[in-house]
Amino acid sequence: MSAPKPPVARRDPKTFQQLGRTRTDDYAWMKDENWKEVLRDPKILRADIREHLDAENAYTKAMLAGTEALQAQLFAEMKGRIKEDDSSVPASDGAWDYYVRYEIGAEHPVHGRRPRGRSDGEVVLLDEDALAKDKAFFQVGAAHHSPDHRLYAWAADEQGSEYYTIRLKDLATGETLPFQIDSAYGDFTFSPDSQWLFWIWRDENARPSKVFRRPARGGEDVLVYEEKDEGMFLGVGKTSDDSHMVVHVGNQETTEIWLIPAGDPTRPPFVAEPRRVGVKYELDHWTDRWVIRTNADGAVDFKLMASSAEIPAKSSWTEFVPHQPGRYITGFAAFAGHLVRAQRVNALDEIVVMARDGAEHVVAFDEEAYALSLEGGYEYETTLTRFVYQSPTTPRQWFDYDMTSRERTLRKTQEIPSGHDPARYVARRLYATASDGAEVPITVLMLKDTPLDGSARLLLYGYGSYGHAMEPSFSIRNLSLVDRGWIWAVAHVRGGSDKGWGWFLDGRKEKKTNTFTDFIACAEHLAANGYGALGEMAAYGGSAGGMLMGAIANLRPELWSGIIAAVPFVDVLNTMSDTTLPLTPPEWPEWGNPVEDAQAYDRIASYSPYDQVAPKPYPAILATGGLSDPRVTYWEPQKWVAKLRENTTGRAPILLKINMEAGHGGASGRFDFLKEIALDYAFAIWAAERGWEK
């Protein structure tokens, strides 16, 4: 039988003049001029674009038809590791315990509560699976009960566009209130007196731009705060002691916080400390003082400051926990008698508990690579905090920790119904030396008897943007490759905060290429030490990690048997030049502004994966996307694949799979999502076996 023929995209050159520079885009036509409307209603996508996407999906399905049995097997394995009737550890608040649980076969959870300390008397707050029935996509972004326990509110996205609708339920009657809030961001909060709902409006460019307050049981919206800078994100919340409402304004490098006293929730907000470019801060009220986490005054890895002032302006800050280079303070939580901070040292997490008298102690673990995270609770007047421990070999464990007695109580261990023996596996922490001498951590997971002679297949995962750290966590998905003799490796490249905030700063803007060269250095180090072989490795990354995939495909295509680029941000120059797109102004601090800055233009053009595609033998590539994705729009992977296919001089196939009913996160159901991962892994195995074709 003859091989399936890939779609051939028409070339329709469009020329752009910008800062005295000229670029031509042959595939700009793939961007629907009515993309904003398409986000809200994907059915109106222009016919020629839909026809091409359908052809791409059909080609990918035909090319991977031989892997369908493998996909089904991988999916069954992953699903078999999920406890289908699972439930969260209840979180206590007053007279109630709140939790979510799944029923067997359900894609989405039930939100419930029951009387505190009891296992009966459940009240169903929200049945997501019932609401999702007959919907191709359904995702709850946030759900909260009111402080008086009388209302339950949730924000739902029904097409993946991240335009949410907020609804409220009266828990006394069980009835949904007869109004809804449309065009909302997925973030909202009740006032501590339960009388008001603070929510964020998402504008026509899909950006959060205004905070509104409305009576919780319905009424007129009142504008609380409007952000004029299109480059800022918004968030709303409360301080831990319920003394203030908080409006958070910020981007990747700058923060401003506005406060409203909880005792006067209709009062206009006042600013804590005015924004200054490059200064980040967050704050909480710890009964009698403010605690502020900030990078001000050169505290690259952040410090904690304190203020007893009514308005915690920077002039009132005093040093509380000093800056210590290499100790990255990632966050903190306030309780009546204790302050708990999370920090990361050399890509390993710690939790530090401080009493009000300043005495502190550390909670840590001994594994070579692990992840440790705080899990928020509802109660302030408590000595208990909760944390989650996991490692690549150890399933998640939820502990309640008594901050006074230092006693740990294991509340739950993630159950793997199909079985899991940690002793079969080994997790290791390696270090690759980058081209400039930086030591780049690598976390490796493999079977104990996997040979280190280069014969094992290896998948290398990476991200490296926005300061997001790749935690060495437990994954029910990765085991399906590892159990087949593969080595799973994560490259903790610069651009993430794995080794501190400076690690992030060394992988952004003018230093962005460090992210790409670090990843390549990790691949070479692994191969040099027998963890797989160059030319036979798979690379995997999504979103900004998809940019990494595009960059390493251009830089070193010969290293990879296959590359999986999930919702890949690959059309960087065009996207960062289009001010109508949702994330363009907010992301200029990360990449630079090519609209006004010629140096930024040239820098981005020098690595933008789409712009750097050139005639060379590319490896097999699978690019995936979502039609209603507002973050990485569908046309980025569509254009990239068309240009790759036009330029590749090799025989390896270039594939595109667009989910026509989802957004950035892929399928919304817990099992449907696994089918997408199974496709990715089947592609990696298939590409490695074909080789192309040796």
Active site residues: 543, 629, 664
Nearest to 634 by CA among 10, 49, 9: 49
CB-based contact 273:258 (threshold 8 Å):
no
Nearest to 352 by CA among 379, 368, 328: 328
Would strands 620-626 and 654-659 be described as parallel, antiparallel, or unpaired? parallel
Exposed/middle/buried for residue 226 (C-beta within 10 Å: 0-12, 13-18, 19+): exposed
CB-based contact 420:80 (threshold 8 Å):
no
Q: Which amino acid is at 47?
A: A
User: In Å, what is the CA distance from 452 to each residue of 325, 385, 528?
Assistant: 36, 42, 10
**Cβ atoms within 10 Å, residue 434:** 20
Residues 6 or more apart in contact with residue 174 via CB below 8 angstroms:
none
Bridge partners (DSSP) of residue 566 are 542, 624
Bridge partners (DSSP) of residue 142 are 155
Q: Which phi and psi angles does 257 have, rounded to 5°?
A: -125, 135
Residues 6 or more apart in contact with residue 549 via CB below 8 angstroms:
539, 540, 541, 563, 564, 565, 568, 609
CB-based contact 637:568 (threshold 8 Å):
yes
Looking up tokens 């080994």, which residue turns up? 426
Between helices 544-555 and 513-528, what is the axis angle to 10°? 70
Return the ∠ at Cα 77 (arms to 74 and 82), rounded to 5°. Answer: 130
User: In Å, what is the CA distance from 468 to each residue of 15, 404, 601?
Assistant: 35, 32, 24
Residues 6 or more apart in contact with residue 360 via CB below 8 angstroms:
352, 353, 354
Looking up tokens 């390993």, which residue turns up? 348
CA-atom Rg of the chain in angstroms: 25
* Residues 301, 325: Cα–Cα separation, whole Å: 6
Dihedral sign (CA 618, 622, 625, 631): negative
Rounded-to-10 torsion of CA 396, 400, 403, 404: -140
CB-based contact 481:684 (threshold 8 Å):
yes
**Alpha carbon of residue 124 to chain centroid:** 29
Residues 6 or more apart in contact with residue 692 via CB below 8 angstroms:
561, 619, 620, 650, 651, 652, 653
* Residues 188, 205: Cα–Cα separation, whole Å: 20
User: In Å, what is the CA distance from 80 to each residue of 52, 83, 100, 530, 672?
Assistant: 36, 8, 20, 32, 14
* Residues 198, 214: Cα–Cα separation, whole Å: 7
User: In Å, what is the CA distance from 21 to each residue of 28, 69, 116, 340?
Assistant: 17, 50, 65, 52
